[in-house]
Amino acid sequence: MATVTTAPRTASPATSNALTAGQLPKWLPWTLLIVALVISGTVFAILNFGNDPADFNIAGTIFFGFLVFAICLVVFSNIVENSRRAADRFATVLVGFAFTLALIPLVSLLYEVVADGIGRFDVTFFSWTMRNVVGEGGGAVHAIWGTLLITLAAGVISIPIGLLTSIYLVEYGRGRLAKAITFFVDVMTGIPSIVAGLFIVALFSLIIGPGRYMGIMGALSLTVLMIPVVVRSSEEMLRLVPNELREASYALGVPKWLTVSKVVLPTAIAGITTGIMLSISRVIGETAPLLLTAGFTTSLNLNLFDQPMMTLPVFVYNQFQNPGTNIEAALGRAWAGALTLIIIVMVLNLVARFIAKKFAPKFGR
């Protein structure tokens, strides 16, 4: 009788080569991650059996899944590779887990704002005010205009002051005066926003009397918050410009002011623009100082120097605090206002990136 012999099963060439070389296959970490999440999800599903499916612990599933994945990966790496490579893989997993934890609140926030605010993204919201509206309907056109005008005024005031201050500190400032300016800028960076609003209210109370609300007051309170951010970010960007560029310009006989304007500033324009946008993003969502200075109104006001002016942060706050006769409609307007504010910040950042790319110095031939 003839006997049939079968060849022994062997691992795939890629896996065999990887294991022989003392290295885990590339697909193994991802497989371990999927298996660990499935096991963790199964355990939590069993623990939640008989309860409301909405009570399923997603955060616990992800956390313990990552924990099991990290332990298994380190053990496999320590067996196949070596302890040094295992430690490196553990550090990589830890960094990835931290990034995921930081990303989850951001994604959740964006999803919540878009899901709750997209329903009121209609023509009425962007063309009507809240004048004589106590229930459904109404819009935020007066708040959008107020936010744009007040932020623009604050930027026009604070950006030149902050940029010139940073130029002085980097290019001209020496001795006690420069140290004093740096100290006070650092102190201003930590000032609570409501203190800036109280300062402007006290100042205007001495000049024009108490009880006045104007858009320019809101712009000045935001200026107090913007200036230190612009100074510190611009100062760091200017210090990154190589001294060789300055010395080459001086060697050609170019005066210092022209070197700063034609060599130093264009070289650092990308970083400076990013710092300015960070300062705008820092103040555009402030509520407390604008409540004290610009006040709130239900009508459209385009005059910064007369009467209260509504802004989007105050609009959102007012819709939550004073919903009127229809709470659902007020909450819809509030979420739509928050979504509009996020879109404005996103558009400003895109514009800043375009400006930085357009005016940044071109290297190479």
DSSP labels, 183-195: HHHHHHHT--HHH
Residue 153, in any domain of the structure:
yes
The pLDDT assigned to 335 comes to 93
- Encoding tokens for residue 284? 């555009």
> How far is CA 317 from each of CA 153, 244, 293, 345, 359, rounded to the nearest angstrom?
22, 52, 15, 18, 39
**Domain range spanning residue 68?**
22-120
Q: What is the pLDDT of residue 219?
A: 94
The secondary element (H helix, E strand) that includes residue 240 is none
pLDDT at 14: 52
Considering the domain architecture, whether residues 263 and 197 belong to the same structural domain is answered as yes
* 92 within a domain of the structure (yes/no): yes
Amino acid making up residue 336: A
Same domain? For 170 and 290 the reply is yes
Our count of domains for the chain comes to 2
107 and 145 co-located in one domain: no
Q: Are residues 224 and 307 in the same domain?
A: yes
Asked if residue 159 and residue 91 are part of one domain, the reply reads: no
CATH number of the domain encompassing residue 186:
1.10.3720.10
Residue 195 lies in a domain: yes
Note whether 189 and 238 are same-domain residues. yes
pTM over 0.75: yes
Residues 349, 221 share a domain: yes
Q: Domain boundary at 72, 87, 120, which?
A: 120
Is residue 17 one of the residues assigned to a domain?
no
Same domain, 188 and 279: yes
Are 75 and 182 part of one and the same domain? no
In a domain, residue 33? The reply is yes
Mark whether 232 and 331 lie in a shared domain: yes
- CA contacts within 13 A on the Cβ side of 51: 10
**Residue 5 covered by a domain:** no
User: Residue 361 has what pLDDT?
Assistant: 63
Which pLDDT score is estimated for 12? 53
pLDDT score of 333: 92
pLDDT score recorded for residue 7: 47
318-356 burial by CB neighbour count: b if 16+ within 10 A, else e?
bbeeebeebeebbbbbbbbbbbbbbebeeebbeebeeeb
188 and 57 together in one domain? no
What pLDDT does residue 158 have? 94
Q: Are residues 151 and 35 part of one domain?
A: no
pLDDT score recorded for residue 153: 95
pLDDT the model gives residue 1:
45
| Series of mean pLDDT values for 10-residue runs along the chain (365 residues) | 48 51 81 89 82 74 86 88 87 86 84 88 89 86 93 94 93 87 89 91 89 91 93 91 90 90 88 87 89 90 91 92 85 92 88 76 56
- Which domain-ending residue is among 120, 151, 171? 120
| Residue 9 located in a structural domain | no
The helix, strand and coil proportions of the chain, stated in percent and rounded to the nearest 5, come to 75, 0, 25
Q: Is residue 268 domain-resident? A: yes
